[in-house]
Structure 1
Amino acid sequence: MKACYFVITIILLLRSGPCFGYYKGSKFMNRLHPKASTSSVFTDNCPQTSFEFPNSKQTTDYIRVKTRIPDLPKFTVCGWYNRYEAADQDSLISYSAAGGANTFTFIVINANRADVQLNNHIIAENLSLKTNREYHICIVTYAESSAKSFLYVDGELMDVYNGNNAWAVKGGGVFILGQEQDGRGGRFDPNQSVRGTISNFMLWTRALSEEDIVKMYQNRCTCPTDYLFTLEDNNIELFGGVSAIQPRTCN
């Protein structure tokens, strides 16, 4: 009889796994995050950047990253985001490589839904973000033999999704914050423009650990030093009404 109970328990756990979207924010899900591929070296003087997108329903305001993006079989993006209004969709991230406009996107659809897409596949869509409140958001993705994507909000794991090596992101594309590319480098939709702030946005070419992400959430002045880019002046171009605003200082 004990053996039968044991088998039933295992079956329930498998059926309640991340493919079914259960256990959001739970310790069970936290154990699914892999360890970092390399040990993280942190700095307590992480570059502090903050930008305001003041206008709604426009196609002129955005940030274009100048840093060349390599092929990304695994990567992590993190940043702080404050949404001013919930009237329209907000396209925080739009990366377009050859062969598709939606190579990697993160779009807040409404107060109860945000979509993460990789190579035109929606990999996450359950997220609640209130307006006029700053959130720390991290997306960790790796496309290997057992591809997974992890979505963190304020240091807490909210979703895990299984995938395949089709999630690997091609390099050489156009990386834009604040608009959604329907064509490489353009064809923006005014109803998908950001109105709010984006701060301390960074990309790493590896999967950061859960401990790394929690540490950054708890102290926004610290971060792993091996980032590919931050939003410092030499890495970006500003368009339209986007302006740099005073970030928090690190002492």
Structure 2
Amino acid sequence: MRSRVNFFVKVLLFTLLRKHAKTEEETLARRYLRPGIFFSEEHQPGVKAMQNYFMNKIRHEAAQRNVDTEISLLRTYYQGTQKETGGEQVQRHQKNLEFCSLSPAYVSLVDDSWTFGRCSASQEYVSLCIKSHPSCCVLDSGIPVSWVLCDHYGAMRMLYTVPQERRKGLGSKVCSVLSEIMTKQNRPIYCHVEEENIPSQLMFKDLGLQETESKLLWVRSKSEHNLTGSL
């Protein structure tokens, strides 16, 4: 699954990194893409330069290959101290609401609501995330109405609340519950949010997360295979 989903991006990175480093950005790319590298605050300027470098290169190489791509930069929010997000433990049972982990049975539901979803590759990716990483959803009479999960980087992603249940604070509650789970598992608490998703950005700030300079570069091919990759 991973080789197919990230095919275009991986081939492009391999092609670029085989060349001699002629610029500072290429040197940074070689340095930070080594196996086992750990990113800290001191790496942020370098990572940002590397992402800008790859974004421009991906656009150029995609145009050369007649590959129609959609490139998005997502903001990154991070909670520096390991504490329960939101300050107070969330009440897990409220009237008909029940908090629980997402079941693989809801892969299609999550995929249909995801900005980068609605294709076979994205369904496989959502399924992998649900089966392999922590998640949280709110069930109303047994049906998910709000959810969030961890992606393969361990970041909170795919936050969604069905339209009829919005403005009730469910999104912040599922994020708080997932943060509690992540804290108990000694996982870092951070997330990626689309540039245009202002409500989610404000919500995560209210939950105590701070915006960083680093951004997630998400590349999606609009070809018939609908390949997706990220940096």
Q: TM-score range, shorter-chain basis?
A: under 0.3
TM-score by length of 1: 0.24
TM-score by length of 2: 0.25
Q: Which has the higher helix share?
A: 2
Q: Which has the higher strand share?
A: 1
